[in-house]
Structure 1
Amino acid sequence: MTVRLSRIQLALFFILLCPVNIIGLWWAVGSPLVMDPNSICRKAKRLAGKQAELCQTQPEIVSEVAKGARLGVRECQYQFRYRRWNCTSHNKYFGKILQQDIRETAFVYAITAAGVTHAVTQACSMGDLLQCGCEATRNRAPPRPPSSSSSSSSSSSSSSSGDGVKWEWGGCGDDVEFGYEKSKQFMDAKRRRGKSDIRTLVDLHNNEAGRLAVKLYMRTECKCHGLSGSCTLRTCWKKMPHFREVGDRLLERFNGASKVMGGNDGKTLIPVGQNIKPPDKQDLIYSDESPDFCLANRKTGSLGTRGRICNSTAMDISGCDLLCCERGYREETMVFEENCLCRFHWCCVVQCKKCLVRKELSLCH
């Protein structure tokens, strides 16, 4: 099956992988792109209406979208650091992964959509975007005290807990709805007009799962006010989960991802296998089995695991047996240069020396 990714989506996926000091790059079809969001938009000719609108009227948001995509892939590389496929930053191979409808692609799409949601929302809270700011709390029900077991249905802006402490919304809550909508607007532009195909449905589902991993797990933070350190009033606001929490949550969904196939109507996805519950909106889904990633394969985008560092004493996925695909491993002494003998000088500089450190490493055959 031929998969057609939009040029802007491919641009984002490859731009986020480049070091900051690299001005340009060549992506899969050989078109030069630079990291400036305006140039990204100019180079991407086949944009959907909403994407084109963002590029033309809100380039500063496109800049945050690129930051969010970078954030997503960095998290992908952290979460997959001990796996056979480690979210490699090799452009050509990464592009091959994106062209398959496998578990790994599901995670990349979800974590990227989550990263865009997180980055745009954060920019709003930091005052970096004129289009948004702090969350509006005028019509929100009052915050629930930690000791309360039921939420209030009041429409007022404050309430009191059983210990007499008054609660009210204040501070600068994260406007996750704005970040959610911009992520949806940019990431969900359909690549094919007309009849939906299974790949489009799968990608849209995984994008939404990523956004919900941010939106549905907002936490309440509060600050006490009062004379002499008393807490007669608490001001509360909503904050996004830390992005590491988002990555951890999506990795759990990756481990339990559901295989699906397209329904006869072309608009639904059906779980493959008997007695399997339909995936909910937070689950990750895929339609093709993953390669084993043991050996290098240009067709599948696998770099193989030869030369990867493994843990010879571990029994989990970082262990040499699993990571090296039972090919064995070798022990090598590697020399690294690290900061050492660091001293703090008033005020305010830390000076370190460079020391050579020898480490014994296990490397896959």
Structure 2
Amino acid sequence: MDPNSICRKTKRLAGKQAELCQTEPEIVSEVVKGAKLGVRECQFQFRFRRWNCTSHNKYFGKVLQQAITSAGVTHTVTQACSMGELLQCGCEATRSRAPPLPTAGPGTDGSKWEWGGCGDDVEFGYEKSKQFMDAKRKKGKSDIRTLIDLHNNEAGRLVVLDNMKRKCKCHGTSGSCQLKTCWQVTPEFRAVGSLLKDRFHIATLIKAHNRNTGQVEHVHPPHRRRANLNELIYFEKSPDFCEREPESDSAGTQGRICNKTSPGMENCESLCCGRGHNILQQTRSERCNCKFHWCCYVVCEECRITEWVSVCK
């Protein structure tokens, strides 16, 4: 996936996507990087599960990949702004910030802080993610799949938006930190991925109304509260992903490496779906004995490691 291949298909893209390709191709490059970041993070978070984010499954994977891709685009575009890689944006404007305020809470040192520095312009990243990720919704289209995609897109963006961190630098005589200059930075994307994985586990099952309005209603018991904007939702239950089923985009778990002593999801009994496992010897290569040479490069050897692994039948 690269920006050129996306933009060559401009005629097939929704209006907002085509507009970005024509007027802001450098932002499309960041969109692509963000989408790749989201997929890599999804694969990391689900590396020990039966479905490990290696395919865009229409059931299980659609919910998480939609949210984490939207979050990845928000995160990447925002950071590109702060790094000065985009002409359309830069550091977050500080003139709208509050005046210097005292730090609050028990145990503070009485120092004061004020907004300054180069804050991450997450609002710009949010808007560009929304412009590209939500563009597939055609005017008047309100089917349940589209509405769920839009909801999960927003949930992914909000994880980045709602978890911005304050970073500060001290000023004062002899490092006394009498005054701090602070700015907002995006959260580490690993933390974003972990939050979305947790929200996936408590995702809300919904169903469409019989009325052709595109509205959705919950099928959980009445005592459960309605899903809010930052929760994930779905409307089709997933297969178990144990066997290869091309029609449901399931690759199965045959041949996957498992851990026979782990109590977690990568346990051979769970990952292999009760089929059992074989113990095989495998050899892999990895970099080793790395040395830093002045100046400035690192030279590593390549070591071959032979080990025994458990592989699902």
Same-fold call, TM cutoff 0.5: yes
1:206 corresponds to which of 149, 152, 163: 152
Partner of 2:201: 255
The residue type paired with residue 218 of structure 2 is P
Deviations 1:91-145 (A, max 9, x none): xxx35x2xx3x33211000000000000110000000001011111212224765
1:193 corresponds to which of 115, 127, 139: 139
Deviations 1:55-83 (A, max 9, x none): 11111111110010011000011011001
After the TM superposition, which segments of 4 or more aligned residues of structure 1 sit over 4 Å from their partners? Answer: 142-146, 161-164
Alignment of structure 1 residues 173-252 onto 2, 5 Å: 173-252=119-198
Partner of 1:4: none
Deviation at 1:166, TM superposition (A): 2.9
Alpha-carbon distance between aligned partners in 2 of 1:334 and 1:270, rounded to the nearest angstrom: 50
Structure 1, unmatched stretches of 5+, are: 1-14, 16-34, 89-93, 150-160
Partner of 1:361: 309
Alignment of structure 1 residues 9-158 onto 2, 5 Å: 15=1, 35=2, 37-88=3-54, 94-95=55-56, 97=57, 100=58, 102-142=59-99, 146-148=103-105
Partner of 2:245: 297
1:266 corresponds to which of 198, 210, 213: 213
The residue type paired with residue 45 of structure 1 is K
- Secondary structure of 1:45's counterpart equals helix
What TM-score, normalized to structure 2? 0.94
Q: Are the aligned partners of 2:102 and 2:112 in contact in 1 as well (CA < 8 Å)?
A: no
Q: Are the aligned partners of 2:103 and 2:113 in contact in 1 as well (CA < 8 Å)?
A: no
Deviation at 1:346, TM superposition (A): 3.3
Q: Are the aligned partners of 1:66 and 1:116 in contact in 2 as well (CA < 8 Å)?
A: yes
Q: Are the aligned partners of 1:103 and 1:285 in contact in 2 as well (CA < 8 Å)?
A: no
Structure 2, unmatched stretches of 5+, are: none
Change (3 A) 1:132 1:208: same
Q: Are the aligned partners of 2:11 and 2:18 in contact in 1 as well (CA < 8 Å)?
A: no
Number of residue pairs aligned between Structure 1 and Structure 2: 311
Deviations 1:316-356 (A, max 9, x none): 11100110001000111111222333333333333332222
Deviation at 1:249, TM superposition (A): 0.2
Alpha-carbon distance between aligned partners in 1 of 2:181 and 2:201, rounded to the nearest angstrom: 39
Alpha-carbon distance between aligned partners in 2 of 1:202 and 1:225, rounded to the nearest angstrom: 48
What TM-score, normalized to structure 1? 0.81
Alpha-carbon distance between aligned partners in 1 of 2:119 and 2:183, rounded to the nearest angstrom: 5
The residue type paired with residue 103 of structure 1 is F
Q: Are the aligned partners of 2:101 and 2:112 in contact in 1 as well (CA < 8 Å)?
A: no
Deviation at 1:47, TM superposition (A): 2.4
1:306 corresponds to which of 251, 254, 257: 254
The residue type paired with residue 70 of structure 2 is A
Deviation at 1:233, TM superposition (A): 1.4
Alpha-carbon distance between aligned partners in 2 of 1:327 and 1:167, rounded to the nearest angstrom: 60
1:285 aligns with 2:251: no
